[in-house]
Each structure stands twice: as structure tokens, then as C-alpha cells.
Structure 1
Amino acid sequence: MRYLLPVVSLLFLSFLCTCDRAPENTAETITQNPPPICRLQGEAMGSYFRVTYVGDSIPGLGERIDSLLDAYNLELSAWVPTSKLTAFNESQKGVDLFGTMHFAPNLELAKRVSRETDGAYDPTIAPLVNYWGFGTGTPRESSEVIMEEVRALLPLVGLQNISMEGTMLRKSSPGVMLDLNASAKGYGVDLISQLLAAAGRPDHLVDIGGEMRAGGNKYGRPWNVAIRLPDEDKAKIAQAGTLPLSNGRAIATSGNYLNYYKVDGEVFSHTINPKTGLVERNRLLSASVLAPDCATADAYATACMVMGPEKALELINARPELEGYFLIASENGGLETVKSSGL
């Protein structure tokens, strides 16, 4: 999973907005005044954010995006003491979701993907995430794994531990906690995409930390997006390939190569298996999933990393609305690219 950094406010630390004229070799040059390409970038959800759209600049767009994501953060960030998610995790029996806009849709998405992946993705994984030093947890100081501690947390994980009674979200015991960060950036991308469409900019590309959604197209052609080559050196950014994206299609990527830490030479990465309770490291180095919306792509990408390359490919091929682009460690130490049947 990918996790939001501990940022209480989503206020952008800086804005950069530029607009360029359409290049002469585009399909739009047949018109007298082709619309420009505008770009806005800044910081959001503990990562970078970039918005590119066809059309004149939208005044105050950065502030509108900031306000939109800040409202989301106040409901679902584990690092905001007053958020609804924090209230649920700290409660004894649960919380009332009345008046919230984003909590229920995210939870329903998480439940759906959990069922469809046979629990490879589970929103109640928070106790394990924290135990292994991710989320709001503290990185381990020892590489020793005490299985008794892991097994003690496993009963807290599973959809059977949460239920809805009207607007009340209940938990089976005080130790049950939610972690919806696996789809957080994707959901944020979807919110911005909807904002741009409502603002009269249907042709756009939204990117938050590598999770992307394309509205419409770019001068009659798809937007081209890059798949990052998995490398544990954050300074090394290279492309493993590119994919076309258009007409509302979204892509999200999950991998163990950036979010990890080492203790006594042992690597602890952020993908946790909800069934075993252990850190999951298999031959699947990077899973990129394409879906009709970015939140769905985000959640499925997380599930694929847990499942491993063979089961992940089987899962994606069985769902016509999804496509997958997997980077797999080969037996000879190389890198193998495997695509689903739809690509």
C-alpha cells in the first residue's frame, strides 16, 4: 500500500501555473484559435501533484483543489487528530458517519475490492500496518519477528469486524482499526478530475504521486503516461514503458521499491499480507492497474502486490474493466514485463 505522509493540512506550499499555445502539428491546428495547454503543480496528500488541461487557465484552481482535498483529509487522514477516521480508530465501539461525504464511498470501495480479491486487500489491516512500522506506526528496531505478536493481531483484521447500522459504523472490538490509504491518492485524483470536468475542462490529466486519470484526450490523441522502472534509489527515475490514457481511464501503481526500511540488513517493505500478517515480498516488483476510476485502480494495485505475479495476472484477466502492467523479477535476476490480455 501507499500511505499518506503525516501532513495535518493539505495547503499547497507552492503553486506553479503555466499555459502554452497548442503545437503546430496537432489536430487542433485546423481551427483558427486552438486552445492552450495549461499546467498547475504543487504539493498535496504528502506528495507532488500535477494537473494538465486543455483550455484557458482557471482562476483560483489551486485553492479550489486544496479546499477539496482538505475536506477529504478531515474525514479520512490517520494523521489528523480530529478526522473521522481517527475517531473511529480510537473509539471503543464505532462512530456516526452522518454528515460525511467521502468516508462511506471509500469504505464501500474497500469492501468491494476486498471481496473480489479474496481478502488480499483489506481496509481493517491498520493494526498490522502500524505493527510493522508503517502508517502511523514506528519503524522496528529489531529484525526479529515474534509470531505470537503477529498472530495476536490477526483476529482484528477482516470485514467481519466492521458493520453499518444506519449511519453508525460499528467495530467488533476496540482494537479494530481502518486504513483506507491504499486508495487515498487515487480517490483524490478522481475528485480533481471531477472538478475539472465541472469547470468546463473535460480534456485533462491529473497526477498525484504517480496515480493518474485522464479526462477526454489531448488534441484528439490519448495522453501518454510513463511506468516507472522499479529502483530502490529514489534519485533514479527511469521509464519502464509508456501507456496511452484517455476518456476517464485511470492508472495506479504499487511497489515495494520506495516505501521500505532496513533493520540489521533485513528489509521491511510496506506491502502487508492481511492473511498471514507478515510483510509480503515476492517477485512482483511493481503492479500498475488501469480502471474506470483511480481509486479502484489504486486498491487493486495494492491487492496485486500481495497476491504475487501469477495470481495477480489471473485476477486482472478475469475482470474486463481492468488492465494490468506488471514488472516482475526474473529467475536470472533480470526484469520481466508482463501485461494483461487487454493491453
Structure 2
Amino acid sequence: MKNLIYLSLILLLSCQAKAPQNSDYLELSGQTMGSSYSISYQDSLGRNFGPAIDSLLVAINAEVSTYIPSSTISQWNQSEKGIKIDDRPHFLRNYLLAKQVFQESEAWLDPSLMPLVNYWGFGYAQKRPVLAVDSQKVDSLRALCAFGQLELDKGYLYKTKAGNELDFSALAKGDAVDELGRYLASQGVRNYMVEIGGELRLRGHQEGAQGWYIGINLPKTEAGLKEIQNIVEIKDYSLATSGNYRNFYEVEGQKYAHTINPKTGYPEKSQLLSASIFAPNCGRADAWATACMAMGLQRAQQLLPQQKELEAHLIYVDSLGQLQSWSTPKAKTWIKK
């Protein structure tokens, strides 16, 4: 589950674009991708981009949502050999970004884990806890997770096995945030915040500030949605945060979280509680946040400094059970609390 990031100093309104009195900042909010979206933007013309935003979100979901049977990704998953995708721009963009981060992260981001995600009860199939783990079944499903072997040729994305399935949930919200931001920019909007399910793209500044002030949740199961661990100030960057402390279930005292380790096929257990990733584009930040939760603290600390235009703030629990944090140098300068 992605952390919900509390947007301090932002008043979230609903339905049509609205602006506080004597302000040219407008706000939109609604539902999408199994979550909510919120947008704040400055426009002296007072234009309402709500209908265009909603139409764009419908188009994106029609290609990348595994919960829509007719979507492009569902068609690919249900196909025997694969389908033509070069006329499906949202699916293709997600696939190419997933491939990039798959390679950057040493395959810790693996969008082909859908069979395992469903097995463990966190996918589009029936959501239920696994009461008795079948290790042979896990191994057989893991054999279907072969993202690096998929072939894109002349507009067709081919499967290596009929049971191959894709799941872009690790990056789809972030990518959609980028698309909405690019749309606003195409309309001449320079100062805006776009957020879907806690993933953000921030450009310019919020009203009365030099940047955007964002709160990162306290990564504890019992914490409220507005309990803040850190506040960051960001300008012209994107931010995505992932954590395992809310989307999980327990069986006989054993906790099973939604992040699947692609190397083992089992839910990842780690001292890393949340990973906040900063990048120019939210889709890449979103994908890397998930990859960090899968690889764990030590490998994340090794790989993150090697990535261009990527900053990070990791929150983890030490051997004494105390919350600690680790940040890349630039991210440290953005943290105000």
C-alpha cells in the first residue's frame, strides 16, 4: 500500500474547480484508481480543468487497470501469446517505464509478479488470506514471472508463457500523476500540485510559499492518516512513498504484507517501514519506492546513490525497535522536520 501523504497547507475541495476567496489557486478532487486524487493549481483565468482531467483518467484506467476486464492490461493478461500495444499509449508508456526501473533496480521492481500477487491475496482475484502456504505452488507461479524475457517487436508485446501476467500498480498512479501534470503544463499552468493516492508531482509553488510543503506519514500500523513523521519542502520535483504497515493480514500471528519479494516469491519482511523517493517524474519515483520496499534497507542504501536524478528518505526500525531514518544528501536539505 502506498502511504497517504498529508498535504499540509492545502485545502482539498470536491467536484468543480474552486478557489479560496481572493485567490487564483483552484482545487479539484475526485476518485480514481481505487483511491482519490487532488489537484491544486494557479490560473488567473479561473479555468476549470475538471472535465478534461476526468476524461484523461478514464482513458488511462482503460489501458492499465487490472480491475477493468476490458482494459488493455487485462486483455494482455488473458491472451495466450500477447497483443498489439503500439496503439495503446498509456499501456506502452507504463511498460517502458517499468522496463527502465526493472533494469535500474536489478529486477527488484518486477511488474510480472501478478500471479504471485493474486496467490497471496493482494491482486484483482479474490482477496483472502493464505491459510496454508504451498511452497510448490509459489515456485510454480514464480516461474511465470519473467518480465525480463518479454519481447516487444513491431508493436506487439509477446508472452513467453501463456500464464504470464502484468501488473503496473507499482507505478500506474505515479505515471497518471505525470500525465495530469503534463496536461496542466500544456494549458500554461506553471504552479501546480497533482496527487493520486499519495503520489505527487509538484511544480512551482503553493500560494504564499516558495515551494510545496508535504507531510510524510508516521509509518506505524496504529498511526492516523494525518500523523506526520517528517515535513518536506519541494519545488519542481515529484514524490512517491511506499510502505508495508497498512496493507497486510495476519494468520496465526504471522504477518503477510502486500510487497512481494521477486527473488523468493514470498511477501517481503524487512526493517524498512517506508521509502519516500524524489524524482523529476512521479512514475519513476513510484516504481522505485516499491522496489526499495522489496529489496530492503541495506540494498536500497547501496543502489539509490547510484541513480541519476533520484533522491530518497527511508524510515526504518533499528535493532532496539526505534524509528530511524536515512536520506540522500539532497533529500536532507528538503526535510524541514
Say whether 1:72 aligns with 2:57: no
**TM-score when scaled to structure 2?**
0.90
In 1, Cα distance between equivalents of 2:294 and 2:287:
11
SS of 1:151's equivalent?
helix
Give the aligned partner of residue 10 of structure 2.
none
Q: Which of the residues 119, 122, 135 maps onto 1:147?
A: 135
- CA shift digits 1:260-319 (9 cap, x unpaired): 122333221110011110100200000000011000000000000011111112211112
Instruction: State which of 231, 241, 253 in structure 1 corresponds to 2:230.
Output: 241
Per the TM alignment, residue 164 of structure 1 is displaced from its structure 2 partner at its CA by: 0.9
Distance 1:236 1:72, change over 3 A: closer
Instruction: Give secondary structure in 2 for the equivalent of 1:20.
Output: coil
Q: Hey, what does 2:211 align to over in structure 1?
A: 222
Residues 1:160 and 1:241: Cα distance change in structure 2 (over 3 Å): closer
Native 8 Å contact 1:290 1:324 kept in 2? yes
Q: State the Cα distance separating 1:236 from its structure 2 match.
A: 4.5
Counterpart residue identity of residue 49, structure 1: Y
Cα distance per residue 1:76-99 (max 9 Å; x no partner): 111111111001100100001142
Q: 203-212 or 150-159, which moves further after superposition?
A: 150-159
> How many Å apart are 1:341 and its aligned residue?
2.5
- State the match for 2:24 in structure 1: 36
**SS of 1:342's equivalent?**
helix
Q: Does 1:125 align with 2:109?
A: no
Unaligned runs of 5+ in 1: 4-13, 23-34
Query: Which residue does 2:19 correspond to in 1?
Result: 19
Secondary structure, in 3 states, of the residue corresponding to 2:240? strand
SS in 2 for 1:194: helix
Report the alpha carbon displacement of residue 171 of structure 1 after superposing the two structures with TM: 0.1
Amino acid at match of 2:215: A
- Taking the aligned partners of 1:253 and 1:130, their CA distance within structure 2 comes to 23
Query: Which residue of 2 is the match for residue 6 of structure 1?
Result: none
2:121–2:130 Cα contact (<8 Å) kept: no
How far the C-alpha of 1:139 sits from its partner, in A, is 3.5
2:252 is aligned with 1:264:
yes
The 1-side partners of 2:256 and 2:16 are apart by 36
**Residue 305 of structure 1 aligns with which residue?**
293
Post-superposition offset of 1:46: 1.3
Mapped partners of 2:171, 2:45: distance in 1 = 29
What's the RMSD between the two structures over aligned residues?
Answer: 1.9
User: Structure 2 CA distance, aligned partners of 1:175 and 1:331?
Assistant: 41
Give the counterpart letter for 1:15 in structure 2. C
CA contact (8 A) 2:117 2:260 kept: yes
Equivalent position amino acid for 1:19 in 2: A
Q: Write the distance in 1 (CA, Å) between the matches of 2:78 and 2:2.
A: 22
Change (3 A) 1:83 1:208: same
Counterpart in the other structure of 1:28: none
Could you tell me the TM-score, scaled by structure 1's length?
0.88
Structure with more contact order per residue of length (Cα contacts < 8 Å, sep ≥ 6): 2
Map 1:135-284 onto structure 2 (within 5 A): 135-218=123-206, 221-233=210-222, 235-247=224-236, 249-284=237-272
State the Cα distance separating 1:340 from its structure 2 match: 1.4
For residues 183-214 of structure 1, what are the alpha-carbon distances to aligned partners after superposition, in whole Å with 9 as ceiling and x for unaligned?
01101111111111112211011111110111
SS of 2:143's equivalent in the other structure is helix
State the percentage of identical aligned residues: 37
1:82 aligns with 2:70: yes
Q: Check the 8 A contact 1:288/1:325 in 2, yes or no.
A: yes
CA distance in 2, matches of 1:59, 1:44: 22
In 2, Cα distance between equivalents of 1:2 and 1:302: 9
In the alignment, the residues of structure 2 paired with residue 320 and residue 250 of structure 1 have an alpha-carbon distance, to the nearest angstrom, of 14
d(CA) in 1 for partners of 2:111 and 2:83? Answer: 16
- Decide whether the 8 Å contact of 1:140 with 1:263 is kept in 2: no
1:341 and 1:310, CA in 2 relative to 1: closer, same or farther beyond 3 A?
A: farther
* Native 8 Å contact 1:273 1:279 kept in 2: yes
Aligned to 2:9: none
Q: C-alpha offsets along residues 43-86 of structure 1, whole Å, 9 cap, x if unaligned? A: 22211211111223654422111100110111111111111100
Counterpart amino acid of residue 92 in structure 2: A
Whole-Å separation in 1 of the counterparts to 2:111 and 2:327 = 27
